[in-house]
Amino acid sequence: MTRLTSTRRRLGLLAAATLAMSSMSGAATVTAVGPPPSGIVCTSDAGTNPSFTLHATSGYVSIPDGNTIYMWSYSDSGSTAFQLPGPTLCVNQGDNVTVTLVNDLAEPVSIVFPGQTGVQANGSPAEPQLSGTEVTSLVQPALPGGGTMIYTFTASEPGTYIYESGTDPVKQVQMGLYGALAIRPAGHADWAYDDVATKFKASTEYVMLLSEVDPDLHQAIERGQSYDFTTLHPRYWMINGRSFPDTIAPNSAAWLPNQPYSAMVHVEPYDAGSNPNPALIRYLNVGGLNHPFHPHGNHGRVIARDGRLLEGGAGEDLSYEKFTVLVGSGQTWDTTFKFTDEEGWNPSTNPIPVTIPQPQNIIYKGNATWYSGSPYLGVQDELPVGVTSFNECGEFYHVAHSHALNEAANYDAGFGGMLTLIRIDPSGGC
């Protein structure tokens, strides 16, 4: 509700402005060494025997309402910095993958690799750990205080997978011990699966790792207090460990030192000649709730679920288009996404056949907008004095968010949480 006399403004709107501008200028002129402003950031190891070392450790993340949350996560050995989520591990089909877990936490921690087969832990089959009928861990854990466990497997099937803790996972996964694993088909870095129909534009590959946070749980763990899991009640909703508007900040944003992954999508219109391949969006749900994720702007084509291509026994194409993907707890969904300038509206040659009201008859919410002032792609037009625009060159912005709309909020403040933006530049970019 907007009150006549209210001074209540959404926290983060100004912050969002800053972030968006940073993101845009970065997108247009990136020259510095480091990850691109948006898109997947792979942690990889060249060769056919990639090896990773992950530290289970603790740290803090920031939330756009000003809160700070104590989390656990897996962090890359190459950096002492805590990061949420864990590094996105990228390997190739057929690789013999080694992941060494070093446990810097005060209780046993492990890693399960759902969707992988033949996983070994310290050279033995990874298997549930039982004490009588009590399952103490889903796989062999690394002991606290610097203990290690070496997990190995062959990356046999391309696709999108979760990795997460298998030890007291009710607590540890909620605390943040999760990450994404992308297995690329052999010989085709720009195919999602071993099928040319899953070819995507390599510079437009995205991860959307969905999670929830109950701050009471995190505070209890930080203080060493007990917590009743039947009272679990998430208040924050994240994509790649960030809540909107932080989701649209660039990769490795300096002001989000422990949350390195952007969730901004950045594409150009489909063109059969110059831009024929779609973006790839890899959805992973590491939370306990199902999340109905709705990208505005266009449908996505669901090409795979849980790391398996949607095809029939005789090779039939079972992919389908959706405007909302209901990503279940523990699931992964792969979609391709493209935006087409379908009508080719043009202010002089093909104008939109409605009259657009004068600015004084329109609301620009909060006097800040991603809108260009013009409905036409690649065109900027005047905005009223006092309205701040984050628009660079007439590009389009659409939101993409959980349609359980209570999740598109930061605690009590709307337009936050599990929400990000899709940026569509005019052909050729800004």
Cβ of residue 316: shortest distance to another protein, in angstroms?
4
Are 325 and 334 in contact by the 8 Å Cβ rule? The answer is: no
Q: How far is the CB of 42 from another protein (least distance, A)?
A: 29
**How many binding residues for another protein (CB under 8 A)?**
67
The span of 126-134, 137-145, 174-182, 393-401 binding another protein (CB under 8 A) equals 393-401
Q: Per-residue contact track with another protein, 316 to 355, x per CB under 8 A?
A: xxxxxxxxx-x------------xxxxx-x------xxxx
Among positions 404, 426, 427, 430, the unique one binding another protein when judged by CB under 8 A: 404
2 binds another protein (CB under 8 A): yes
CB 241 within 8 A of CB 84: yes
SS3 state of residue 230: helix
Least spacing, CB of residue 370 vs another protein, in Å: 5
55 forms bridges with which residues in the sheet?
A: 75, 102
Determine, following the binding rule CB under 8 A, whether residue 271 of this chain makes contact with another protein. Answer: no
Instruction: Write the single-letter amino acid at 387.
Output: V
Piece in contact with another protein (CB under 8 A), picked from 72-80, 120-128, 198-206, 287-295: 287-295
Q: What kind and span of H or E run contains 236? A: strand 236-239
Tell me if 1 contacts another protein by CB under 8 A: yes
Nearer to another protein, 254 or 363 (CB): 363
Task: Quickly list DSSP for 64-93.
Answer: TTS-EEEEEEEEETT--S--SS--EEEEET
One-letter amino acid at 194 equals D
Q: How far is the CB of 330 from another protein (least distance, A)?
A: 16
Instruction: Give the angle subtended at the CA of 276 by the CAs of 275 and 282, to the nearest 5°.
Output: 100
Minimum CB separation from another protein for residue 391, in Å? 10
Residue from 123, 224, 273, 312 binding another protein (CB under 8 A): 312
Distances (CA, A) of 332 to 8, 115, 211: 38, 10, 13
Q: In the set 188, 199, 299, 308, which binds another protein (CB under 8 A)?
A: 299
Closest listed residue to residue 136, CA positions, set 113, 108, 97, 95: 108
Rounded CA separation 174/284 (Å): 14
What the block records as the tokens of 98 is: 């080694």
Residue 44 phi/psi, 5-degree rounding, is -140, 170
By beta-carbon proximity to another protein, the closer residue of 123 and 386 is 386
What is the total residue count of the chain? Answer: 430
Considering beta carbons, is residue 1 or 385 the nearer one to another protein? Answer: 1
Nearer to another protein, 122 or 406 (CB): 406
Q: Site mask, another protein, residues 171-210, x = CB under 8 A? A: --------------------------x-------------
DSSP 34: S
Binding map of another protein across residues 209-248, x = CB under 8 A, - = no contact: ------------------------xxx-------------
Residue 151, both tokens:
């997990």
Q: What does the longest C-alpha to C-alpha distance in the chain come to?
A: 77
Residue that the structure tokens 């409905």 belong to: 375
Q: Which residues from 406-425 bind another protein, rule CB under 8 A?
A: 406-409, 411-415, 421
- The C-alpha atoms of residue 10 and residue 245 are separated, in whole angstroms, by 11
- Two structure tokens written together for 394: 């007439």
Would you tell me which residues interact with another protein (CB under 8 A)? 1-5, 197, 233-235, 290, 292, 294, 296-299, 312, 316-324, 326, 339-343, 345, 352-357, 361-366, 368-371, 375, 396-399, 403-409, 411-415, 421
